[in-house]
C-alpha cells in the first residue's frame, strides 16, 4: 500500500460521501489522488478537496485502474455490482453497505473492537450497520471484562441514516407543518414532521423484525465473535436531522455495578462519558453531531433484575461519522500497517 494512495469514493455526492472527504481532510489522511465517483446524473459536478477542484466521474466497471483504496457508500446493489471490479483492479474496498457484512470471507470491522480482522481481508472490508456500531463501541470494553450475555436495544434513529433526501424531507415537512400546510411524504413512508415510526426497512412477516433490527442482531454476534449472545432490538425513526441515540440494557455473566461500567468506559477508545445526574445532562443528538466519539450516559442499575447482573445506559453517536465515514477512514488508516503485519 502506497504512503500516498489513490483513493476512490463511490457515492461521493451522498451524505456519507461528503463525510468521507471531510473526515480524510480533518484526520490528515494522506491521499495521492482522489477519484470522485457517482451516478451518471452526477457526473460533471465539481468538488473541492484540499484546495483542488475535482470533477465527479460516472461510476463504471473501469473506474478503478490504479486505485489503492475504494470507499463505497452508494447502496448494497451498487456495491455488489462494482466492488468485484475494484478488487480485480487491485483496490481494497471498504464498503459501507450491507452487501458483504455477513459474508464469511469478509471482515466486519469496528477498529476499536477488532482491528486485527483487517489483515484477513480478501479485497473487501465491511463497515457495520450504524446502529450496531453505536451500541457495540461502548459495550465492548464491558464485554472484555465481564461477558455480556444479553442485550436489549431501542434505537432513536435520525434522518441522516436514510440519506440526504430524507434529511431534506424532514426540514421541508417541518416547515410545511408549521405553516399549516399538507406535505405528502415522498422519501419516507410516513409523515416525518413531529412524528416517529418503525424503521423504514422491510418487516420479516414471520419474526416481526425489520431489516435494521436483524442487522444489529447478526452483526453483533459476528463482531463480538459470540454466537450465543442474545440480542433484542427495536429500531425507530425519529424527527432528528443527524445523530442516532439508543437505550441499551445489558446483562453480564457476573454481577456488575454502574460504578464499574463508568470505570470500564473511562478512557475507552471511541467513548466519551456524558453522565451528569446533578445537572440532568446526558447524551443528546445535538452534542453527538460532528463528534467522533460515542457519547454514553444515564448509566444505572437495571432495577428489574434483582440479581445485579444488568445495567442500563443511553448513548448517542453521529451516524454519518462513527456510524459510517469515520469508521471507514479509520480502517483505511490501518491498512498499510496491517498489510505488513
> C-alpha 149: how far from its chain's center?
23
Extract the C-alpha cell encoding 310.
444488568
Q: For residue 312, give the 3-state DSSP assignment.
A: strand
Show the 3-state SS of 61-107: CCCCCCCCEEEECCCHHHHHHHHHHHHHCCCEEEECCCCCCCCCCCC
Q: Looking at the annotation, which residues are catalytic?
A: 130, 244
Distance, CA of 50 to CA of 207 (rounded, Å): 48
314 is written with which cell numbers?
Answer: 443511553
Q: Residue 160 CA to chain centroid, in angstroms?
A: 11
According to DSSP, residue 210 is labeled B
Buried b (16+ CB within 10 A) or exposed e, 19-31: bbbbbbeeeebeb
* Residues 216 and 137: beta-carbon distance below 8 Å: no
The C-alpha cell 459495550 sits at 139
Q: Give the integer Cα–Cα distance in Å for 126 and 100.
A: 6
Amino acid at each position: 500500500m502506497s504512503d500516498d494512495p489513490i483513493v476512490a469514493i463511490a457515492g461521493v455526492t451522498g451524505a456519507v460521501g461528503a463525510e468521507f472527504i471531510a473526515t480524510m481532510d480533518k484526520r490528515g489522511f494522506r491521499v495521492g489522488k482522489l477519484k470522485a465517483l457517482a451516478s451518471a446524473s452526477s457526473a460533471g459536478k465539481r468538488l473541492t478537496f484540499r484546495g483542488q477542484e475535482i470533477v465527479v466521474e460516472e461510476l463504471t466497471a473501469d473506474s478503478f485502474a490504479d486505485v489503492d483504496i475504494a470507499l463505497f457508500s452508494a447502496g448494497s446493489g451498487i456495491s455488489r455490482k462494482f466492488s468485484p471490479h475494484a478488487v480485480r483492479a487491485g483496490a481494497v474496498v471498504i464498503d459501507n453497505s450491507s452487501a458483504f457484512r455477513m459474508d464469511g470471507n469478509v471482515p466486519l470491522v469496528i477498529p476499536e473492537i477488532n482491528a486485527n480482522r483487517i489483515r484477513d481481508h480478501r479485497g473487501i472490508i465491511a463497515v457495520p450497520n450504524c446502529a450496531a456500531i453505536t451500541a457495540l463501541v461502548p459495550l465492548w470494553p464491558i464485554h472484555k471484562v465481564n461477558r455480556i450475555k444479553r442485550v436489549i436495544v431501542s434505537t432513536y434513529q435520525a434522518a441522516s441514516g436514510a440519506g440526504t433526501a430524507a434529511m431534506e424531507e424532514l426540514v421541508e415537512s417541518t416547515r410545511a407543518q408549521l405553516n399549516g400546510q399538507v406535505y405528502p411524504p415522498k422519501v419516507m413512508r410516513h409523515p416525518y414532521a413531529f412524528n416517529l415510526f418503525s424503521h423504514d426497512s422491510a418487516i420479516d412477516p414471520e419474526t416481526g423484525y425489520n431489516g435494521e433490527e436483524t442487522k444489529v442482531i447478526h452483526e453483533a454476534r459476528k463482531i463480538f465473535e459470540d454466537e450465543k449472545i442474545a440480542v433484542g432490538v427495536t429500531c425507530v425513526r425519529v424527527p432528528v436531522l443527524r445523530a442516532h441515540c439508543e437505550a441499551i440494557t445489558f446483562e453480564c455473566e457476573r454481577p456488575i455495578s454502574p460504578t464499574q461500567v463508568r470505570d470500564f468506559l473511562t478512557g475507552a477508545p471511541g467513548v466519551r462519558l456524558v453522565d451528569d445526574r446533578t445537572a440532568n445532562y446526558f447524551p443528546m443528538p445535538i452534542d453527538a453531531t460532528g463528534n467522533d466519539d460515542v457519547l454514553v450516559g444515564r448509566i444505572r442499575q437495571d432495577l428489574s433484575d434483582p440479581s445485579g447482573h444488568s445495567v442500563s445506559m443511553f448513548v448517542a453517536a453521529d451516524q454519518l461519522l462513527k456510524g459510517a465515514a469515520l469508521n471507514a477512514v479509520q480502517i483505511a488508516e490501518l491498512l498499510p500497517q496491517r498489510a505488513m503485519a
